[in-house]
Amino acid sequence: MKVMDEYLLDQLHACETLLGLQTDAQYWFGDFAKIVPKETNHELARIDAELAVVCGTFATPEDYLVAKYNAKAGETLTGDALSQLIDEILFCNIYDGGSDDIVGRLIAGLDAPLSNPGTCAKLLTKKSFLKTSLPVVESDAAELLAELRGMGWLDDDNRNVPVEYRHLIDRFVSRAVGDWESWLVECQVKAFDLLVNRSKIETRHPLYATDYALFIPPSHRRLILDPIQELIRQSADNPKLLRRISPRDFEKMLAEIFTGFGFDVELTLQTRDGGADLICMSHTGPIPFKVAVEAKRYAESNAITVDMVRSFVGANMKIRANKLVYVTTSRFTRDARVYASEPGVTELLELKAFSDIAQWAKDYSTNIISSFTKKL
């Protein structure tokens, strides 16, 4: 029976997670929820609860708020809960003929926050990111489906799939080709476009976005909206995202971060056999300084073992780097950390885990925003 290799397993986990995010309300409306004023937050929650009572679903608004949002009357809904409510308001308006007045109240509440050009710029960046990421994830899913089909693992009865992979593959296939999931993504796109259009974020200020750039007349300053830069920015706000992206995107993120630190970075081929994922060169001194980076986008429970670290150090016989950096979103075993502290190894090797990467993302985002602001 065929066994799934580690790289394919990571790809499936990452793509399945991203497909799931595309149906998640917070993924689409989280940035809007962050800027909704408290008064509007309370008003929308009250209207939602009163409608539930009118429909006979709950006896009192208080019962509804506790059951659905674990909130009391007058309390502010959390970002996740408010994102869900915004999603439902827009969905009802599009598909069920829901009251346009409720959408109007949401838009009116957003009016003051959107008077800030920086807020509109951030939302336009999010729009561009969502628009460019959807086809990328769709393409990745199609490639993985083709690979699984070639392995004979997409038969109707799943008889060729090892038992330990069946649940993951079922979830992935359902999200990749399921009619229900596709319809949910279509709903999110329509709801998001409705909110963007009704809130007029593209016309409030002299700026507009294309697939690749945010233009700010009259100075015509240009900020490239690179999806990897946006991933880093989002990871700085929500480090858990680091464990949801694909291994290759994780490597690209690290390449961009090390470029921001002043290195010339080469991202090695995915098909490499041994060696490092990134080769980073610094030419600031009289002698070039070479850093080799090994990147593992693993789940928190999947620790880096001492054998994996030893293998990377051994590969330096060929790489000949001045410094080795092993980076992972998981953690290192005790034996791996002990080995890294041994004489002759500690001078060469650094181990960087989840918290270090999260800090790098924050440092990178701060530097990028600061340097762009100075140019305006």
Would you tell me how many other CB atoms lie within 10 Å of the CB of residue 56?
7
Q: Identify the pLDDT of residue 331.
A: 95
- Whole-number CA gyration radius for the chain: 24
Of 43-47, 49-53, 167-171, 202-206, give the lowest mean pLDDT range.
202-206
Mean pLDDT of 354-367: 89
Residue 270 clears pLDDT 80, i.e. is over it = no
In a domain, 157, yes or no: yes
Q: What confidence score (pLDDT) does residue 304 get?
A: 95
Q: What is the pLDDT of residue 154?
A: 79
Residue 155 located in a structural domain? yes
Residue 369 maps to a domain: no
Which residue, of 201, 228, 248, is where some domain finishes? 201
Together in a domain, 145 and 7: yes
224-261 pLDDT tens trace: 346 788 788 888 888 988 988 888 889 999 999 998 88
User: Angle 117-150/6-21 helices, nearest 10 degrees?
Assistant: 130
How many domains does the chain fold into?
2
- Max CA-CA distance within the chain? 77
Q: Is residue 360 over pLDDT 90?
A: yes
Whether residue 195 sits in one domain with residue 255: no
Sheet holding 213-216, edge to edge: 208-209, 213-216, 221-224
- Residue 46 shares a structural domain with residue 129: yes
- CATH number, domain at 350? 3.40.1350.10
Rounded to the nearest 5 degrees, what angle is found at the Cα of 8, between the Cα atoms of 6 and 13?
A: 95
User: For the sheet containing 278-282, what is the strand order?
Assistant: 264-267, 278-282, 289-296, 323-328, 349-352
Q: Which of 164, 230, 169 is nearest to 19 (CA)?
A: 169
In a domain, 359, yes or no: yes
Cα gap 28→155, rounded to integer Å: 34
Q: What is the pTM of this model?
A: 0.55
Whether residues 69 and 129 fall in one domain: yes
The confidence score (pLDDT) of residue 375 equals 33
Asked if pLDDT for residue 307 goes beyond 90, the answer is: yes
Sequence-ordered list of residues with C-beta below 8 angstroms from that of 67, at least 6 positions apart, any chain: 58
Return the residue matching tokens 């038992």. 163
Which of 201, 224, 251 is where one domain is finished? Answer: 201
CA 355 – CA 251 distance, rounded (Å): 17
Do residues 268 and 190 share a domain? no
Q: What is the pLDDT of residue 280?
A: 92
Q: What's the pLDDT at 215? A: 46
User: Is 178 in the same domain as 298?
Assistant: no
d(CA 329, CA 303): 9
Q: Tell whether the model's pLDDT for residue 121 goes beyond 50.
A: yes
pLDDT interval class at 216 (50, 70, 90): very low
- Looking at residue 74, its pLDDT comes to 78
* Claim to verify: residue 61 and residue 194 sit in the same structural domain: yes
Which range of residues forms the domain containing residue 340?
239-364
281 within domain boundaries: yes
301 and 164 within one domain: no
Angle CA 16–153–18, to nearest 5: 5
Whether residue 224 is contained in a domain is answered as: no
Tell me phi and psi for residue 287, to 5 degrees: -120, 130
Whether 45 maps to a domain, the answer reads yes
The mean pLDDT value for 350-354 works out to 96
207 found inside a domain: no
Kindly state whether residues 40 and 137 are assigned to the same domain.
yes
